[in-house]
Amino acid sequence: MAVAARAPARGLSAAEAARRLAEHGPNEVTADRRVPLWARVGAQLRDPLITVLLAAVALTLAIGDHPDAVVIALVIVVNTAVGVVQEVRAENAVAALSRLSAPAARVLRDGGQRKVPSAGIVPGDVVALAEGDIVPADARLVEAAALLLDESMLTGESVPVARRAGAGAAGDDTVLAGTVVLRGRALAVVTATGADSALGRIATLLRPRPEPTPLQRRLAGLGRVLAAVAVGLCAVVFVLGLLRHQPPGEMGVTAISLAVAAVPESLPAVVTLALALGARRMAARHAVVRRLPAVETLGSVSVLATDKTGTLTEGRMVVERLWTPHATAVVTGAGYGPAGGIGLHGRPADPYGGAADFDGSAGAEVRSLLTAAALCNDAALRPPTEGDGQWAALGDPTEAALLTAADKAGLDHVRLREACPRAAEAPFDSLRKRMTTVHRSADGKLLACLKGAPEAVLDPAVLAEPPELLDRARNAAAALAAEGYRVLALADRRLDHLPEPPEEAEHGLRLLGLAALADPPKPAAAATLAACRRAGVLPVLVTGDHPATARALAVRVGLLEASAGPEAVVSGEAQAQVGDLTRVRVFARTDPRQKLDIVQAWRTRGAVTAMTGDGVNDGPALRQADIGVAMGRRGTEVARQAADLVLADDELATVVTAVAEGRRVYDNIRRFLVYGLAGGAAEILVMLAGPLFGLALPLRAGQILWINLLTHGLTGVATGAEPLSASAMERPPRPPGQHILGAGVWQRVLLLGLVVAASALGAALRSHGSGRPWQSVLFIALLAAQLGVVLGLRERLVTRANPFLPVAVLASAALGAAALYVPFLRDVLDTVPLSWGDLAAPAVAGLVGFAAARLRKRGI
């Protein structure tokens, strides 16, 4: 619902926001209507193999073969029910993932800024926007600075548009849901949410259909090939039966049943469920998959391009050193809390906060430096809340660290900002590498404050300082960066008038000094990178930091040897001169275009790349990579929406966990294929070879379908939950072009099919020679051999990780026995009870199938 724009000084209260949420509903487009049950059932019945089974039911009824008609109908009902259940479970899993990766926004409530889910925004909320944010709802600007928006997703225009508060032209002060903030910052009052927003009105016209994953498409093609082969072989069985003077109707039903049993028709549903459940398992480990195909792709990642801040490092920046033209200082304390102090010229810092001795010119220089750092700053500090004993940063961690340092120097950054309100600004962007703000001081004068990368600030075009001082500052910055610090240069200038545009203030400034910030590596960073290398995943560091800073970190986490020279790190400017980017392991000072070049270089070599990022400038590379990985806590909304995987805990180790889960899913799908296709091949071989040994009609149609139901149903689905192989993360990633049956899988299918068929036929021929009920023996031996295979394919025979598989095998065995000893099933399936002696040969067949699968269990 639309409302007029007003900007309450404190924003809405929590109670008022809750009332409006109940009144207007959540800020989300109305969800697509759920597919009704009858439509799901109809979709299952339209499957080509199920259609063939329906024709078989009609044929058996026409010839009066009611027992087989009952069995075929039962198979149809069970397969349809399993397919519908799996489809619903997969849909629910994906919906849950969508909720986990829902965007968030910053709003002003009860006088403070807080982050809330985008769905919780209501008309009247005051939303804070900054570079990289996606506008969560239609809103009217009440405050804006250098605001530039990408509205291409709504208008189709690729040229960014500027928006400003209080603009006279209609729409110039309006921001629309779904557009992206490219530059600047703003406060805006929400005017329309959900379906009433511009994005919502468009989205309600769309009903996108889910696309199959690449793996599903490959498997569907495989299924068509297998179906064609199976139908051809079953036609041979049919013709051979006619030549042996078997009834045409019976042979037709048998051939149809064999074709259905030979192809694992439940494979697409099993794959969808395996991918969805794999994604749910990743979510439980803080890796939220935004697109289901990413689960499959993760298993073949071979290059991991990681950023530095917050990924390899703590992401909690702390100012540790200060340099001014006439002083140096050491800052103590950890995190964003005020505990700690500042010591000048090596003098001890006050452990209770504040400067040790700030009298004199040296102290004045440090105060001026930190005053500019606090004013040229968009961050905020949040005091500890109940259940959380730590101060937190709202905004950029680097800026928050500067605020903390200012407070330690005795400068109250909140009062300082109130005393010197901001009048204009040139926001930071990744190309200029600096930020400038203009403030009105208490005496009515204007003060310009600038901070940025040393190479962007220590420039005669920016600073009115003698060359000797600039050289000293550059040497100091290089020395600090070589120690692993992130270095910022700060400057200020008194102004007579408000510059227009604000960038006009970026010349003739006075150098205040340097701030050196540390972001130590996470304790697990080195171990995580080592785990990547063991798994055949090559880690590459891509950062915007200074080359010396990047090198120092790379050495600490084991990406580079300590003896590596300066040439081991390539800066963005030097990238163009590097012939082969894939030979470099550390990139520094990279811009968005250069990150794209790095990703593309690896992809050209055939590597499957994963790229981590958190900023708006990372968006293009995240989309270009095979797997884009965004940070969930500190990442911008642009990065999260561009990514395939969102790390809810911002831990690089979670990427390794996700890669392992991808390999697990792929291995389990291949395990199911080996099991299902080997069983189907064995059934065809039995039907082809049986008559050659005097077994006129080895199996009836109902018996074939009953075996198919027990093997492809219960046990087939249970294989998708098998745990990760112990060797999965010790082997190289699979080549992206490798066929699903590649790496020896199809040979193994044939081998196991031959073993299962031979063991089952052997059991039947033994009974046939002694005048025993050989067909029932063959039926149960074929089932036992396949169940033996599925147990033998397990990586670990005894494990608590997947109790469903042994339970499914026992249930299938029990239902197989029921076909022999339950009168109703015995009549329907045309079987006879077997004695303990008769069951010995099927038991041996089961053991043979188990042993054959164990011999090469690592071939999956």
- Catalytic amino acids? 307
For residues 549 and 340, is the Cβ–Cβ distance under 8 A? no
Yes or no: say if 731 and 653 are a contact pair by the CB < 8 Å rule: no
Q: Which of 295, 312, 211 is CA-nearest to residue 530?
A: 312
Find, among 778, 749, 784, the residue nearest to 676 by Cα.
749
Which one, of 289, 337, 302, lies nearest residue 316 by Cα? 337
Q: What is the token pair recorded at 140?
A: 């009217």
> With helix as H, strand as E and coil as C, how does 636-663 read?
CHHHHHHCCEEECCCCHHHHHHHHHHHH
Judged by DSSP in three states, 789 sits in helix
Q: CA 60 to CA 72: how far, in whole Å? A: 9
Residue 537 Cα distances to 299, 655, 703, angstroms:
10, 11, 48
The CA distance from 105 to 621, in Å, is 23
Q: Are 786 and 756 within 8 A, CB to CB?
A: yes
| DSSP 8-state secondary structure symbol assigned to residue 715 | I
* Length in residues, the chain: 860
- The C-alpha atoms of residue 122 and residue 190 are separated, in whole angstroms, by 7
List residues bridging with 610 in a β-sheet. Answer: 304, 627
CB 710 within 8 A of CB 786: no
Q: How far apart are CA 777 and CA 833, in angstroms?
A: 10
Q: List helix spans (H) across 285-426.
A: 293-298, 360-375, 397-408, 413-419
Count of alpha carbons within 13 angstroms of residue 439, beta-carbon side:
24
- Mapped onto helix, strand or coil, the DSSP state of residue 548 is helix
Give which of 640, 736, 849, 651 is closest to 115, Cα–Cα.
640
Q: From CA 492, how far away is CA 507, in angstroms rounded?
A: 10
Q: What are phi and psi of 89, to 5 degrees?
A: -65, -40
Q: What one-character-per-residue DSSP string does 91-142 give?
A: HHHHHHHHHHT--EEEEEETTEEEEEEGGG--TT-EEEEETTPBP-SEEEEE
CA–CA distance, 331 with 552 (Å, rounded to integer): 21
3-state percent breakdown (helix, strand, coil) of the chain, nearest 5: 50, 15, 35
CB 705 within 8 A of CB 260: yes
H or E segment and range at residue 184: strand 180-192
Burial class from Cβ neighbours inside 10 Å (0-12, 13-18, 19+) for residue 23 reads exposed
Plot region of 589 (φ>0 → left; ψ -120 to 50 → alpha; else → beta): left
